[in-house]
Amino acid sequence: MKLRVISTAALATIASIVAGAPSHASLSPANPPGRVRLSNETTLTRWAYAVTPGMAYARPSSTARRVGRLRFRTEDGFPEVYIALESVQDVHGTTWVRVRLPQRPNNVTGWAVRSALGDLHVVRTKLVVNRRTLQVRLYDHGHEVFQARVGVGKPSTPTPAGSFWIREKFRVAGSPLYGARSMGTAAYSTTLTDWPGGGIVGLHGTSEPDLIPGRPSHGCVRLKNRDIERLYALTPVGTPLLIK
């Protein structure tokens, strides 16, 4: 799966195209643009790494209420990923980007200054986990390319619902409990999950394939090992994940 990388200098052109405005539209404070959609999280999603420390605010202003903090690394030590939803320029000429925040509580978004984020990467995939039908589906450019049965959280330790994304991917060595492949998400359980260290909802393999489909986990999404290997190969970091 090939990713496109978009430089900071190209953001103004992208914003104009996504907004449907002429590419020559001015971005100066004298002609401030409206909010520009950067991701639809279905067929087009833009994401970035944090490059400088920064806060996320409830509104695109440093005087607004703080709702989170940008960080460089996930709990497992991989570069942290932020989904870029929309952008806006304030009266001072500062560009702000609304991002999804990987933190408790789930499904929090906040505004960060554009300069705190690196280049925008593009993915065109989407994952959907259905807790009722016990299925996961992967879409690429809106077309289904993979589906498999899954195991989800028990009623006492449910897999949380919401809009998340794939933050990290890695191979698992010496732990048949998780299979050979794992993908960490931005979903957090209210209790401990199967994930090492607890708390993070992941998609991973299993040493108990007979429990799939079912509700055997502490919150993580389990796949049979052959299925997680296929899904791992098809799913890039930054892929949106809808759990419903």
Q: Are residues 130 and 119 in the same domain?
A: no
pLDDT digits (tens, 9 = 90+) for 206-224: 989 999 999 998 899 999 9
Q: 156 is written with which tokens?
A: 């006492």
User: What CATH code is carried by the domain that includes residue 83?
Assistant: 2.30.30
Q: Are residues 134 and 107 in the same domain?
A: no
Largest CA distance in the chain: 63
pTM of the model: 0.83
Domain that holds residue 97: 4-123
Return averaged pLDDT per consecutive 10 residues of the chain, 244 residues in all.
52 45 36 80 98 96 97 94 97 96 94 98 98 98 98 92 96 70 91 61 92 92 95 98 98
In angstroms and rounded to an integer, the radius of gyration of the C-alpha atoms of the chain is 19
Q: Are residues 43 and 130 in the same domain?
A: no
pLDDT digits (tens, 9 = 90+) for 14-61: 444 444 433 333 333 433 458 999 999 999 999 999 999 999 999 999
User: What CATH code is carried by the domain that includes residue 192?
Assistant: 2.40.440.10
Q: Are residues 13 and 114 in the same domain?
A: yes
Q: Are residues 105 and 60 in the same domain?
A: yes
- Nearest CA to 88 out of 4, 18, 163 is that of 18
Q: Where among 92, 108, 123 does a domain terminate?
A: 123
- Active-site amino acid positions: 204, 220
Q: Provide the number of structural domains found in the chain.
A: 2
Q: Are residues 59 and 107 in the same domain?
A: yes
